[in-house]
Amino acid sequence: KSGGFTAAAANYIDERTSISGVVKEFGRKIFPDHWSFMLGEVALYSFVIIILSGTFLTFFFQASMAEVTYNGSWAPLKGMEMSAAMDSALKISFDIRGGLLVRQIHHWAALLFIAAIGIHMLRVYFTGAFRKPRELNWVIGFTLFVLAMAEGFTGYSLPDDLLSGNGLRIIDGLIKGIPFVGTWISFLLFGGEFPGTAIIGRLYTLHILLLPALVVAFIALHLVFVVVHKHTQFAGGGRTQKNVIGYPILPVYAAKAGGFFFLVFGVVALMAAFFTINPIWNYGPYDPSPVSAGTQPDWYIGFADGALRLIPPGWEFVWLDHTWSFNIIVPVLALLVLLGLVAVYPFIEGWVTGDKREHHILDRPRNAPTRTGIGAAGVTFYAGLWAAASSDIIATHFQLSLESVTHAIQAWVILGPFLAYFVAKRVCIGLMKKDREIVLHGYESGRIVRLPGGEYIEVHEQVDDYERWKLVDYEVYEPLMLRPNSQGKITGSARLRVRLSKWFFEDRIAPASRTELEAGHGHGAAAHDEIEGPGH
Residues forming the site for ligand HEM (CB under 6 A): 37, 39-41, 43-44, 47, 50-51, 54-55, 57-58, 61, 89, 92, 103, 106-107, 110, 113, 117, 120-121, 124, 129-130, 134, 137-138, 141-142, 144-145, 148, 151-152, 155-156, 158-159, 207-208, 212, 215, 219, 222, 226, 231-232, 278
Work out the burial of residue 256: count CB atoms within 10 Å of its CB; fewer than 13 is exposed, 13-18 middle, 19 or more buried. middle
Name which of 118, 101, 155, 393 is nearest 275 in CA terms: 101
CB of 168 to ligand HEM, least distance (A): 13
Residue whose CB is less far from ligand HEM, 54 or 306: 54
CB of 505 to ligand HEM, least distance (A): 23
CA distance 248 to 257: 12
CA distance 46 to 36: 16
CB of 64 to ligand HEM, least distance (A): 12
The pairing of strands 81-83 and 67-69 is: antiparallel
CB of 300 to ligand HEM, least distance (A): 9
CB of 160 to ligand HEM, least distance (A): 9
CB of 50 to ligand HEM, least distance (A): 5
Residue whose CB is less far from ligand HEM, 46 or 325: 46
Residue whose CB is less far from ligand HEM, 53 or 391: 53
- Distances from the Cα of 217 to the Cαs of 214, 220, 417, in angstroms? 5, 5, 35
Q: Please, which residues have CB within 8 angstroms of residue 211's CB and are 6 or more apart in sequence?
A: 147, 150, 151, 154
Residue whose CB is less far from ligand HEM, 44 or 307: 44
Work out the burial of residue 197: count CB atoms within 10 Å of its CB; fewer than 13 is exposed, 13-18 middle, 19 or more buried. middle
Type of residue at 235: A
CB of 140 to ligand HEM, least distance (A): 7
Residue whose CB is less far from ligand HEM, 149 or 429: 149
Residue whose CB is less far from ligand HEM, 88 or 390: 88
Contact 450, 414 (CB under 8 A): no
What dihedral angle (degrees, nearest 10) is formed by the CA atoms of 201, 204, 205, 210?
160
Q: Please, which residues have CB within 8 angstroms of residue 338's CB and are 6 or more apart in sequence?
A: 381
CA distance 517 to 531: 9
CB of 77 to ligand HEM, least distance (A): 15
Contact 517, 440 (CB under 8 A): yes
Going 30 to 36 to 40 to 44, the CA torsion angle's sign is: positive
Residue whose CB is less far from ligand HEM, 140 or 531: 140
Residue whose CB is less far from ligand HEM, 63 or 352: 63
